[in-house]
């Protein structure tokens, strides 16, 4: 038995949004004072620093709708308590299509909102029909309407969103959606944790010896240390698999790299009051014949000349009187090894601008000439095949996991933290707790349902 340098009740591996939230709810809700968070990096500096920081309660399955709804309620509590230190806004998500009868999308709405859908979904159809649609009056989250407005009246669409191209036929405006500052959220939680006895250790967990307590070997700048903990949380983001390997488990998580660009919209193409906008339609990007020929020659780039999936994101970023915008497109589906060099694609800015200019044609101005200071970055979506998270006990006694939060870990950090903390004190109250725990893989009914899903809620 190695000499133990530090003993604690709980050790959380990973100081990203999720690990910090687990520690926060253990301290805040369950009064746990003896918590150590371990990370070799600055808190919130890996995947959590790359987030677009958007949130929404739209999902094609009621479990994920309830999960994110609960997280948004916790975010609202923190916003109220802190005078909105987390900069919560609520202009909604505008999901755009050129299809006038997108029955599959409407079915997803009804499936996702379950028994409440009848009350929540409002249709605005027919030219000139009297409409009860309320465009977002401000960015304030308090008082913003809930539910979803389905706009199918072209005149209403034109009048409300003149920045979109004329061919938009339907907008699903999800109203319980907007943005927060994930960094401020993490900072607020860390302050609470530290004020209540918790602490951070800078170091890399390199091995775990099972038993009661569990023993962790940590490589710190001062040399190796040994820590014993009654309970350990694997919140290692893209490295969930490494930590699971240390106790001989496999969590079935892969890492898929996704990218964004942010730049100053000097031409003022994107209105500052635009909701977070997602163009859902597939498209073929426009290339010159010469460009098309060059791209087709390389199997890696040939796909850029073919039909591309929908899902291009665009939103104004920062203050309403500012100029920055963010664009993203999660079209990559190829898993990568997060230990290797980041697979950042130098063509991405050009690709996303071409795609986004179909909906907001003025953005084409920036193709090949992004303003100085533009930022191109990315991070890993750590995800399960079904795109549901893993929160709850692992098979190893005393080990828990909170991760695989894919592209929704900022919005779902609070509920993931609370749910994991509840599991750790053996009181998982949320009705969906078992569906999101690793034990779901042993439930053939749940897994059959998940396999049959037409959409995994990947936006």
Ligand X SMILES: Cc1cc2nc3c(=O)[nH]c(=O)nc-3n(C[C@H](O)[C@H](O)[C@H](O)COP(=O)(O)OP(=O)(O)OC[C@H]3O[C@@H](n4cnc5c(N)ncnc54)[C@H](O)[C@@H]3O)c2cc1C
Residues of this chain that bind ligand X (CB under 6 A) = 13-19, 38-41, 46-48, 50-55, 204-205, 235-239, 242-243, 258, 260, 378-381, 403, 405-411
Three-state DSSP at 250 gives coil
Q: Give the shortest CB-20-to-ligand X separation in angstroms.
A: 7
Q: At its nearest, how many Å lie between ligand X and the CB of residue 93?
A: 10
67 vs 381, beta carbon nearer ligand X:
381
Cα separation, 36 vs 6, whole angstroms: 9
Angstrom distance (rounded) from CA 47 to CA 420: 20
Which CB atom, from 242 or from 273, has the smaller least distance to ligand X?
242
User: Which residue, 102 or 338, is less far from ligand X as judged by CB?
Assistant: 338
Q: Are 43 and 18 in contact (CB under 8 A)?
A: no
Which residue, 147 or 237, has its beta carbon nearer to ligand X?
Answer: 237
CA distance 189 to 10: 16
CB of residue 156 to ligand X, shortest distance in Å: 27
Compute the least distance from the CB of residue 403 to ligand X, in Å: 5
Pick 213 or 389: Cβ nearer ligand X? 389
Number of other CB atoms surrounding residue 135 within 10 Å: 15
Alpha-carbon torsion, ordered 447, 452, 456, 457, to 10 deg? -110
Residue carrying the six token digits 């009181």: 427
Smaller CB separation from ligand X, 295 or 401: 401
Q: Give least dist CB 48 to ligand X, A.
A: 3
CA angle 67, 71, 74 (to 5 degrees): 145
Q: How far is the CB of 301 from ligand X (least distance, A)?
A: 21
CB of residue 51 to ligand X, shortest distance in Å? 3
Q: Taking a C-beta distance cutoff of 8 angstroms, is the pair 394, 400 a contact?
A: yes
Token output for 203: 């170091």
Nearest distance from C-beta of residue 240 to ligand X, angstroms: 8
Q: Which is nearer to ligand X, 86 or 106 (CB)?
A: 86
Please count the helices (runs of H) and the strands (runs of E) in the chain.
13, 19
Strands 148-151 and 121-124: parallel
- Dihedral (C-alpha) 140, 145, 147, 153: value to the nearest 10 degrees? -100
Do the Cβ atoms of 422 and 430 come closer than 8 Å?
A: yes
Minimum gap (Å) between residue 379 Cβ and ligand X: 3
Tokens of 78: 């923190």
Contacts of 448 (CB under 8 A, 6+ apart): none
Q: Identify which of 10, 56, 5, 66 has the alpha carbon closest to the alpha carbon of residue 33.
A: 10
DSSP state of 148: E
**Is the Cβ of residue 39 or residue 153 nearer to ligand X in the bound state?**
39
Judge whether 438 and 390 are in contact, CB under 8 Å: yes
Complex with ligand X: residue 99 or 199, whichever CB lies closer? 199
């Amino acid at each position: 038995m190695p000499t133990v340098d530090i003993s604690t009740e709980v050790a959380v591996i990973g100081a990203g949004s999720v690990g910090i939230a687990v520690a926060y709810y253990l301290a805040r809700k369950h009064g746990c004072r003896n918590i150590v968070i371990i990370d070799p990096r600055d808190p919130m500096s890996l995947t959590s620093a790359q987030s677009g920081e958007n949130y929404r309660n739209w999902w094609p399955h009621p479990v994920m709708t309830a999960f994110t709804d609960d997280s948004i309620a916790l975010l609202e509590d923190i916003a109220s308590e802190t005078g909105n230190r987390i900069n919560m806004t609520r202009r909604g998500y505008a999901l755009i299509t050129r299809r006038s009868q997108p029955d599959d999308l409407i079915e997803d709405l009804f499936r996702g909102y379950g028994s409440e859908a009848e009350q929540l979904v409002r249709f605005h159809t027919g030219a000139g029909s009297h409409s009860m649609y309320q465009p977002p009056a401000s960015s304030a989250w308090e008082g913003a309407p809930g539910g979803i407005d389905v706009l199918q009246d072209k005149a209403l669409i034109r009048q409300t969103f003149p920045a979109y191209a004329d061919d938009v036929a339907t907008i699903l405006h999800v109203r319980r959606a907007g943005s927060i500052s994930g960094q401020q959220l993490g900072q607020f939680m860390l302050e609470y944790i530290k004020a209540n006895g918790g602490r951070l250790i800078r170091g890399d967990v390199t091995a775990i010896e099972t038993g009661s307590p569990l023993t962790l070997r940590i490589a710190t700048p001062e040399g190796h240390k040994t820590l014993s903990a009654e309970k350990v949380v694997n919140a290692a983001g893209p490295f969930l698999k490494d930590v699971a390997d240390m106790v001989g488990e496999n969590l079935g998580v892969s890492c898929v790299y996704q990218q964004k660009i942010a730049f100053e919209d000097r031409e003022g193409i994107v209105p500052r009051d635009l909701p977070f906008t997602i163009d859902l339609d597939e498209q073929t990007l426009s290339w010159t014949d010469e460009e098309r020929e060059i791209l087709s020659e390389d199997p890696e780039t040939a796909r850029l000349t073919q039909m591309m999936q929908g899902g291009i994101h665009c939103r104004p970023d920062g203050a309403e009187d500012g100029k920055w915008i963010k664009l993203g497109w999660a079209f990559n589906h190829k898993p990568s090894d997060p230990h290797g060099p980041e697979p950042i694609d130098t063509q991405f800015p050009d690709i996303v601008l071409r795609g986004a200019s179909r909906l907001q044609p003025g953005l084409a101005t920036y193709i090949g000439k992004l303003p100085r200071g533009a930022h191109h970055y990315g991070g890993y979506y750590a995800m399960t095949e079904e795109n549901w998270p893993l929160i709850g006990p692992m098979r190893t006694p005393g080990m828990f996991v909170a991760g695989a939060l894919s592209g929704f870990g900022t919005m779902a950090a609070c509920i993931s933290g609370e749910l994991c903390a509840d599991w750790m004190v053996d009181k998982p109250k949320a009705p969906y707790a078992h569906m999101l725990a690793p034990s779901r893989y042993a439930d053939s009914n749940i897994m059959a349902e998940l396999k049959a899903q037409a959409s995994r809620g990947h936006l």
